[in-house]
Structure 1
Amino acid sequence: MLPNYDDLGPIQSKEKSTCIETNRALRFLKFQRSSCTLLIILNSKMPNPVATFNTTMGVIKAEIYLDRVPITASNFIDLAKTGFYNGLHFHRVIPDFMNQFGCPNSKDPNSRSAGTGGPKDGEFLNLKTGATEKRFGGGNIKDELISKDSNEPGTLSMANTGQPNSGGSQFFMNVAHNDFLDWFGPGESKHPVFGKIISGYDTCVKISQVPTRNDNPRTPIKMESVTVEGI
């Protein structure tokens, strides 16, 4: 006996409807899975970038605290990526204290103006928030007095003139625990930490111990290049 196709019609429509609903459910689950994956990526803690300092006395690597002081870190990264630091010299080194670097006038290691310069005014991207930040008043950035990281041995800290919002491109590498420089301490000096050496600290110490004249190395110590990875 031949089947009654009129009777099969409703059955086929029901199966088709079930199939459509199943596909919709699968697509919804797939969307939810994608959304969850995206949220996990956005909310996950990304590792901080790492800067490599290639000096004539060796290589130093440091974690840059983009997660803690994003304006200060982004300013440094922007300068490094544009080649600002390449070819400059350490202009002030003091044993059991620190090594200072980052003045554009130090391209000539014997320049009397080494230690007095900074970057040009302009804008740079805050790599954490996406906001546009500014260098002003001679290449200075806003003091970022947020993270209570002390000026411990191996930390990178912003140099300034002693006045508020006067940091720009210059910074120093601590070779002692200079807690009197902490912005959150009782002293007048306010130098926020924005990174810490993760390898090559021995090179940093050796730099601080070279013979000097008025704190300037007698034999120039050149920064061949500064590169940043992980951003």
Structure 2
Amino acid sequence: MRPLIAAFLSFAAMALSAGPKPQVKLTTSMGVIVMELEPQAAPRTVENFLKYVKKGHYNGTIFHRVISDFMIQGGGYVDYLGKKRTDASIPNEADRALAAGLKNKRGTVAMARTPDPHSATAEFFINVVDNPKLDFKSKANATTWGYCVFGRVIKGMDVVDRIRAVKTSNKRSDFLNLPVKPVLIKEAVQIQ
């Protein structure tokens, strides 16, 4: 019985030291989305995201890529499609996040990146369906590295669903799946 008590006390101490998970509120032109972040599963990714939130980076950006059966992506461009400056990219923690049970499922938030697995800066996406093909598989190549999940939507999936349903255009070859009417992130603030 003593090992069981010791294990429980150890788990309880870890839970207390972890404290509440950070939450970020996105006020968009279509409503409010609240995300809860997972710093124990993806510490550098969460730290990076919160750094951009605190700097006000996301204020005035748009969801510039909306694919109704895939995801909505934002955080990198302003409404006239000027790219915002970012800090250096961060290492991909998709392997660590997956080991902690975070997968690219509907409602989860992950970092966007280029084909380079370690190129994520500020852009993020919200999965609107389960996307297992985006999960970490191995470190063998860029495709199998996957995309790091670092949080989930805890309020406002109805807003996410409204955004995923907006009309998009492929008129600009440099911006495929661009909403015809901009979907603005008015403000991003940490609320917990």
User: Same fold by TM (over 0.5)?
Assistant: yes
Q: What is the CA distance between 1:42 and its match in structure 2?
A: 9.4
Normalising by the residue count of structure 1, what TM-score does the alignment of the two structures yield?
A: 0.67
- Give the Cα separation in 1 of the matches to 2:32 and 2:50: 18
The answer to whether the 8 A contact 1:118-1:168 is kept is no
Q: What is the CA distance between 1:41 and its match in structure 2?
A: 9.4
- Note if 1:222 corresponds to 2:184: yes
- Give the Cα separation in 1 of the matches to 2:92 and 2:145: 12
Q: Paired residue for 1:119, among 86, 89, 101?
A: 86
**Structure 1 segments unaligned to the other structure (5+ residues):** 1-39, 121-138
- In the other structure, the counterpart of 1:208 is 164
Q: Paired residue for 2:117, among 151, 164, 172?
A: 164
- Give the Cα separation in 1 of the matches to 2:182 and 2:34: 20
- In the other structure, the counterpart of 1:47 is 20
State the SS of the aligned residue for 2:189. Answer: strand
Q: Paired residue for 2:144, among 188, 203, 206?
A: 188
Quote the RMSD (CA, aligned, Å). 2.0
Q: Paired residue for 2:127, among 174, 178, 182?
A: 174
Q: 1:92-103 alignment to 2 at 5 Å?
A: 92-103=65-76
- Give the Cα separation in 2 of the matches to 1:77 and 1:42: 21
Q: What is the CA distance between 1:189 and its match in structure 2?
A: 5.6
Instruction: Summarize the Cα distance change of 1:110–1:206 in structure 2 as closer, same or farther, 3 Å threshold.
Output: same
Instruction: Summarize the Cα distance change of 1:141–1:206 in structure 2 as closer, same or farther, 3 Å threshold.
Output: same
Structure 1, residues 125-180: CA drift from partner, whole Å, max 9, x if none? xxxxxxxxxxxxxx201111302111000000011112131111011000000110
Instruction: Summarize the Cα distance change of 1:55–1:43 in structure 2 as closer, same or farther, 3 Å threshold.
Output: closer
Q: Paired residue for 2:40, among 34, 50, 67?
A: 67
State the SS of the aligned residue for 1:89. Answer: strand
- Give the Cα separation in 2 of the matches to 1:175 and 1:119: 26
Higher strand proportion (structure 1 or 2) = 2
The runs of at least 4 consecutive aligned structure 1 residues that moved more than 4 Å come to 40-43
State the SS of the aligned residue for 1:204. Answer: helix
Normalising by the residue count of structure 2, what TM-score does the alignment of the two structures yield?
A: 0.80
- Note if 1:147 corresponds to 2:109: no
1:150 partner letter? K
Number of matched residues? 167
Q: Larger C-alpha radius of gyration, 1 or 2? A: 1
2:155 partner letter? S
